[in-house]
Structure 1
Amino acid sequence: MSITGSAAQTPGSPAVAPSAVADPPDRARHGMFASLRVPNYRLFFSGQVISNIGTWVQRIAQDWLVFSLSGNNPVALGIAVALQFTPTLLLSLWAGVLADRVDKRKLLITIQSGTLIQAVVLGVLDVSGVVLLWHVYVLCFAFGCLSAIEVPTRQSFVAEMVGKGQVANAVALNSSIFNMARIIGPAIAGFAIVAIGTGWLFIANAGSTLAVIAALALMKPDRLFRGPAVVRGKGQLREGLRYVRGRSDLMALMALVFFISTFGITFFISLAVVAGNVFGTEADGYGLLSTMLAVGTFTGALASARRGSRRAPSLRVLLLSAFALGAIEFCTAFMPTYLAFGIALVPLGFATITFLNTANALVQTSVSPQMRGRVMGLYVLVLMGGNPVGGPLTGWLAETFGGRSPFYLGGAVAMLAVVVAGVVLYRARQTPLRDALRLG
């Protein structure tokens, strides 16, 4: 399917089916699992449960494969992360424009098909015993290109599935299954790598991707909550950037997300380094640390789902969770034993996912539907675009100052960023986030 040819609607056609114009009634909005009452979202949720486990299995297997092929070199792992996230710098803004123009559901099916192929190729190379480090690097870059388009499209598709009134709940439920997979996936991967190697895990992830493709294909397009079609035109990217630049509150929130995600949330590199170089464990030790972090993020996601079904996202929750993330990360760096370090990852995960879910919901519910794709493209850019810098920097810090240094330095940067952003947000003259949404 041609991505550029999959326009959602032609000019002059109805934006949505009459039955999908309004948000669901208030009585359907309450409860931790309120969004699951929407059939299309229920399909999406089911596919994500299966696929996210496979994604986390592949992520752990890929990190360990790079670590092994490079002789346990933290810098090599940082390079892999940089290659995976560099396309975000190049493509995410344009992906947001594309998401506003085309049928998001069809675009996601195309992207997921490409992701399946990437996993199969990596698995075949590994199982056949011919995989080299540069092969993994190339496929990391290919995956990054697909992800740079997929993430803003998927994020902006949430509102189309459930309606604006349930965005916060659906974002939190998405996060809950993602982080449930973070508990199951790394635990499976850690022991499976020791038992059968990494190659078959990539093949298994390819199979799990079929669940997402099937779920998207089975959705009923006439039940989506689509806004007016955005007709292709010149200057749409600049229009989106001007929209955000004119919102001082959005600018401050984006800056906060950038600094915390780039320097504070570096766990994908840091945990492998701590497991291998600080505590001297194998892949199963790394997998268990990832699982402990995921216990916290899963619990935090469920708490966010309950909160999102009852009230609008809150600036106070955003700032408190961000500061807690930095403070806990700083303290975790100095835990003396493997067990103490692992236990400290639970509250760290809780604070991390509370911050990320709240930031996502604040952005989605405070912007115009016609701008949502472009704003989410920028949001994804600031959320993930710092990884090409943060990844190698984290590896260099771990190699130069020890495996614990990314934790205490990242925590300090996060706390400082919260203080600065908090002052800007509460002093901003134009404050739609403060006026339109609850403060806590």
Structure 2
Amino acid sequence: MSNEPTVAFALARAHAPLLPFSSFRSLLAVRIAWTVGIQMLFVAIGWQMYALTHDAWALALVGLYQFFPVLLLTLPAGHAADSWRRARIVLGCLAVQGVVAAAMAFATHRNGLTRDALLLASLLLGAARAFQMPALQALVPSTVPPPLLSRAMAAVSTGSQSSVILGPALGGALVSFGIGVVYAVAALLFLAAALLALGLKVREVQRERRAATLDALVGGLRFVWRKPIILAAISLDLFAVLFGGAVALLPIYADTILHGGPVMLGWLRAAPAAGAFAMSLWLVRYPPKRRVGVTLLASIGVFGLATVVFGVSTNLWLSLLALIMTGAADMVSVVIRQTLVQLETPDEMRGRVSAVNAIFVGASNQLGEFESGSLASVIGPVGAVVLGGALTCLVALTWAWRFPQLAARKTLDG
């Protein structure tokens, strides 16, 4: 029997609008409110830590403290996302982050927020995000039909990146009114996201609550290891951003290299998101369809080259342009990688596989910040950023050789 009607239906749905799906709208609103709040916190914590210590090593520790919970808790979090209602997990994590932000606002008002308190807050925020991200990511395929998934991923990235633009810019601007104001506004945004999550109506399959055995916890790792295309995609992101991330050093660039202040830091933090936002708008309309493997590898190479340019720049506009390019290139990588992971994973495994993906993403971001900060303390911030960008380019070339099936991948659905 011919499958042409099914194919035609899928192609028609692939061009359907996304916003009529109420569950997708609600999930997108939750993600936007949360992302604005967490980005504001990142700016405030980084600026306050540097103001207290003037030490690149302290900035490195912030990234490390955020990563430790991801490393330790994400596999149990993935198991929880495959055993419990994912929307409820997201709600609980938002509540925890709201309490942390409110406590930081109160402590700042009382002049009691110290270096150790900032590290403790980073640890708690990392723990909440460790449980939130697998559940939040695994919810996306439940909100749209499969033919719309790549566009939904791009749309979610559009919302997230617009929030990453707004969050740092708003956080940097509010710093002039006091760090405590930033923490208080972030707490209100977490509250708004939690209220939105309460109304999130997603048809989740009733799952069997499995015991948290070692076999269940490592199920996602085994699945990824047996799927070379997924392993290649997420490990590429891990090593590329691990070496190429310069986010931890932006307070130093804003203060001592570009001779600005917290407002400039907000714009530097927002610049990659601006590039990602513009690229995500393009990808919503024109999702990757051909030679997606080569496109993924090329985007990592562009990310590395733009990082090198930022590292050597002493001009604000050139620095912003380079950061915009890193964001645009990273967005291409994110959409291709996340769509591949979701399409190649059955629903009953999505929580655990999303958890493994979260470990890789967390490692690339938080360990990348630790690597940049610790290396900068030895060879200086410029040397650390330039070396990291060069290593990122090398990673793209190495993965093209090590994983030929990734380079040969033609389409997202294989």
RMSD over aligned CA atoms reads: 2.3
The counterpart of 2:116, out of the listed 129, 134, 138, is 134
Q: Tell me: CA distance 1:386–1:55, structure 2 relative to 1, closer, same or farther (3 Å).
A: closer
In structure 1, the partner of 2:35 is 52
C-alpha displacement of 1:188: 2.0
Q: Kindly, what percent of the aligned residue pairs are identical?
A: 22
Matches within 5 A, 1:151-166: 151-166=133-148
Q: Distance in 2 between matches of 1:388 and 1:350?
A: 20
Q: Look up the match of 1:38.
A: 21
Displacement of 1:25 in angstroms is 6.1
1:436 Cα deviation from its structure 2 partner: 6.9
The 1:241–1:190 alpha-carbon spacing in structure 2 relative to 1, beyond 3 Å, is closer
User: For residues 187 and 239 of structure 1, do their structure 2 counterparts lie closer, same or farther at Cα, with a shift above 3 Å needed?
Assistant: closer
* C-alpha separation in 2, matches of 1:251 and 1:220: 32
Secondary structure of the residue that 2:229 maps to in structure 1?
A: helix
How many angstroms apart in 1 are the aligned matches of 2:350 and 2:147?
15
Deviation at residue 68 of structure 1 after TM alignment: 0.8
Structural mapping, 1:374-413, within 5 Å: 374-387=352-365, 389-413=367-391
- Distance of aligned partners of 1:94 and 1:313 in 2 relative to their CA distance in 1, 3 Å threshold: farther
Name the residue aligned to 2:236: 256
- Given that residues 161 and 276 in structure 2 are in contact (C-alpha distance below 8 angstroms), is that contact kept between their aligned partners in structure 1? yes
C-alpha offsets along residues 331-362 of structure 1, whole Å, 9 cap, x if unaligned? 22222422221222222211112212221111
1:20 aligns to what? none
Deviation at 1:171, TM superposition (A): 1.8
Q: Does 1:284 align with 2:250?
A: no
Aligned residue number for residue 286 of structure 2: 307
Deviations 1:84-137 (A, max 9, x none): 111111011121111111110111111111111111111110122121111111
Q: CA deviation at 1:230?
A: 4.4
Q: Distance in 2 between the 1:107 and 1:268 partners?
A: 29
**In structure 2, what is the equivalent of residue 69 of structure 1?**
52
2:107/2:113 contact within 8 Å kept = yes
* AA at the equivalent of 2:312: F
Preserved contact between residue 48 and residue 211 of structure 1 (Cα < 8 Å): no
Shift of 1:211: 2.2
Deviation at 1:231, TM superposition (A): 4.2
**CA spacing shift, 1:47–1:236, aligned 2, 3 Å:** closer
Change (3 A) 1:267 1:177: farther
In the alignment, which residue of structure 2 is the partner of 1:176? 158
Q: Deviations over 1:258-277 (max 9, x none)?
A: 1012111x232122221112
Please give the TM-score of this superposition, normalised by the length of structure 1: 0.85
Q: Alpha-carbon deviation of 1:228?
A: 6.6
Superposed counterparts of 1:67-146, under 5 Å: 67-70=50-53, 72-146=54-128
Which whole-Å CA distance do the structure 1 matches of 2:405 and 2:15 have between them? 33
Length, aligned pairs only: 404
Aligned-partner Cα distance in 2 for 1:349–1:238: 32
- State how far apart, in whole Å, the 1-side matches of 2:350 and 2:411 are: 16
| Residues 237-386 of structure 1 mapped to structure 2, 5 A cutoff | 237-264=217-244, 266-308=245-287, 311=289, 314-386=292-364
Distance 2:130 2:154 in 1: 21
Q: For the structure 1 residues 46 and 392, does the alpha-carbon distance in structure 2 shift closer, same or farther, using more than 3 Å as the test?
A: closer
Deviation at 1:142, TM superposition (A): 0.6
TM-score for both structures, normalised by structure 2: 0.91
For residue 345 of structure 2, give the secondary structure of its aligned residue in structure 1. Answer: coil
C-alpha change, 1:387 and 1:126, in structure 2 (3 Å) is: same
- Say if 1:40 and 1:161, in contact at 8 Å, map to a contact too: yes
1:236 and 2:216 aligned: yes
Does structure 1 residue 434 correspond to structure 2 residue 390? no
SS of the aligned residue for 1:434 comes to: coil
Identify which range, 118-127 or 248-257, moves more after superposition: 248-257
Match of 1:215 in 2: 196
- Name the counterpart of 2:14: 29
Between the aligned partners of 2:405 and 2:289, the Cα distance in structure 1 is: 24
Unaligned runs of 5+ residues in structure 1 are 1-23
Secondary structure (helix, strand or coil) at the match of 2:67 reads helix
Q: Which amino acid aligns with 1:60?
A: V
Contact 2:89/2:131 (8 A) holds in 1:
no
Displacement after TM superposition at 1:427 (Å): 4.7
